[in-house]
């Protein structure tokens, strides 16, 4: 069996005919990139690349020359050949990681189809038949809706400063038996001192984890937060390969690693990351905030096979089109997704639907609200900044202050 071609399928995710203006636009930033690795025996595999899909598409096309004529079943050897092929362009980042991921994912899909086995069975068998998931809530009403749909965990994310009172309201809504998480990602990113102040207030709300409290490049700052705050920390969605996740694990900076199933470097890399984390008693909750449906299938196969699973992030109803571009459609029941049993990944592209949404843009210029920045500084576009009005913004409201 030999690889004969690699085809890419790039699509815009967002508004479409019949939708209200601006609905689901993601500020023009969201693209999904799927690919298909074809062979001379008619068997093909599909994968998904995330990180910067519009740019990654060219990387995949460039790397195709390395793969044509190779046996797709030699997954690890081909991955290393691709990795070595990219090293002349610098340390592997989002683009390289995304390209490696989508290609390797498709090779596993091929191998599973050839052997008539689901990918999880080729990775060592499964610990579990279902994978717990959590949803996103930006309001108590949305949190209540998720609880009614069977979820038992919700995350509230913030661009810029954390609204402590909103987190408290969501905690009150879901009750003490559900889990609540906070994603504090910027921009603008908090300074370490502000992240610590916010974290100490969040301690009172019994969070499952506090995610990305400081800029991802600043691991020393993350260490400061870890030492000062008594909440589990989570990070790692922006890194690729075991070498990217290594300092988070070896320095015990986090309690949860969050590799992105579309740019972590591949399914094998994710399992290696999980093993590294396991040796430090760290769990894994893969990032899925901007991914399409193919990578979600892949995440289930990986998570079925590792012992230190926490849960999978799921953006279930961000855009209705996600249920039209692949088949079958994953459906959560009682806050969990079933592990697929079909050969390979167990998912197929609906190419005619993907073609309806040609890519137009893949960059988000600025956050969608000025509240992400200190008043009067929105146009400055700074990467991080300290929070002013500290007493009112970095503390939960108390009855005596109402």
d(CA 205, CA 82): 45
Q: Which of 80, 185, 280, 301 is catalytic?
A: 185
* Segment (H or E) for 53: helix 53-67
CB of 131 within 8 A of CB of 309?
yes
Cα 350 vs. chain centroid, distance in angstroms?
Answer: 23
Residue 295 phi/psi, 5-degree rounding, is: -60, -30
DSSP string, 147-166: HHTT--EEEEE-SSS--HHH
Tokens 């991914």 found at: 291
Q: Which residues pair with 234 in a beta bridge?
A: 211, 256
135: buried, middle or exposed (CB in 10 Å: 19+, 13-18, 0-12)?
Answer: buried
CB of 264 within 8 A of CB of 237?
no
Closest CA to 61 of 99, 25, 18: 99
d(CA 92, CA 98): 10
d(CA 100, CA 13): 22
Residues 6+ apart with CB under 8 A from 80: none
Residue 20 phi/psi, 5-degree rounding, is: -60, 150
Q: Which of 80, 89, 136, 287 is catalytic?
A: 287
Residue 89 is a catalytic residue: no
Residues 6+ apart with CB under 8 A from 265: 92, 97, 100, 101, 104, 240, 241, 242, 244
Residue 287 is a catalytic residue: yes
Closest CA to 395 of 233, 157, 209, 200: 200
Q: How many CB atoms lie within 10 A of CB 342?
A: 16
Residues 6+ apart with CB under 8 A from 189: 214, 215, 383, 384, 385
Report how far apart, in Å, the C-alpha atoms of 16 and of each of 211, 321, 352 are: 32, 9, 15
Cite the active site residues: 185, 287
């Amino acid at each position: 069996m030999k690889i004969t071609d690699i085809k890419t399928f790039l699509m815009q995710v967002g508004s479409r005919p019949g939708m209200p203006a601006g609905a689901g636009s993601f500020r023009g930033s969201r693209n999904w990139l799927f690919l298909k690795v074809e062979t001379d025996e008619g068997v093909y595999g599909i994968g998904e690349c995330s990180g910067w899909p519009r740019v990654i598409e060219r990387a995949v096309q460039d790397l195709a020359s390395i793969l044509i004529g190779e046996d797709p079943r030699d997954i690890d050897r081909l991955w290393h050949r691709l990795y070595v092929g990219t090293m002349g362009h610098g340390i592997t980042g989002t683009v390289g990681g995304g390209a490696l991921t989508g290609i390797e994912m498709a090779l596993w899909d091929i191998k599973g189809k050839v052997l008539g086995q689901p990918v999880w069975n080729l990775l060592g068998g499964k610990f579990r038949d279902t994978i717990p998931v959590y949803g996103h809530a930006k309001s108590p009403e949305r949190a209540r809706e998720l609880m009614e749909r069977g979820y038992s965990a919700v995350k509230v994310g913030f661009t810029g400063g954390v609204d402590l009172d909103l987190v408290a309201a969501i905690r009150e809504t879901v009750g003490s038996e559900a889990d609540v998480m906070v994603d504090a990602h910027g921009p603008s990113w908090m300074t370490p001192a502000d992240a610590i102040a916010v974290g100490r207030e969040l301690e009172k709300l019994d969070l499952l984890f506090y995610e990305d409290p400081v800029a991802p490049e600043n691991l020393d700052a993350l260490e400061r937060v870890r030492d000062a705050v008594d909440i589990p920390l989570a990070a790692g969605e922006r890194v690729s390969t075991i070498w990217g996740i290594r300092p988070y694990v070896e320095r015990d900076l986090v309690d949860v690693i969050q590799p992105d199933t579309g740019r972590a470097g591949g399914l094998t890399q994710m399992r290696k990351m999980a093993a590294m984390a396991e040796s430090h008693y760290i769990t894994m909750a893969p990032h899925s905030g901007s991914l399409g449906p193919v990578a979600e299938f892949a995440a289930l196969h990986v998570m079925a096979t590792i012992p230190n699973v926490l849960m999978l992030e799921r953006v279930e109803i961000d855009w209705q089109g996600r249920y039209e571009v692949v088949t079958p459609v994953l459906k959560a029941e009682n806050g969990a997704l079933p592990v697929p049993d079909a050969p390979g990944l167990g998912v197929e592209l609906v190419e005619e639907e993907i073609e309806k949404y040609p890519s137009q843009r893949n960059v988000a210029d600025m956050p969608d609200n000025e509240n992400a920045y200190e008043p009067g500084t929105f146009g400055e576009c700074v990467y991080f900044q300290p929070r002013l009005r500290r007493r009112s913004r970095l503390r939960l409201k108390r009855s005596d202050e109402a």
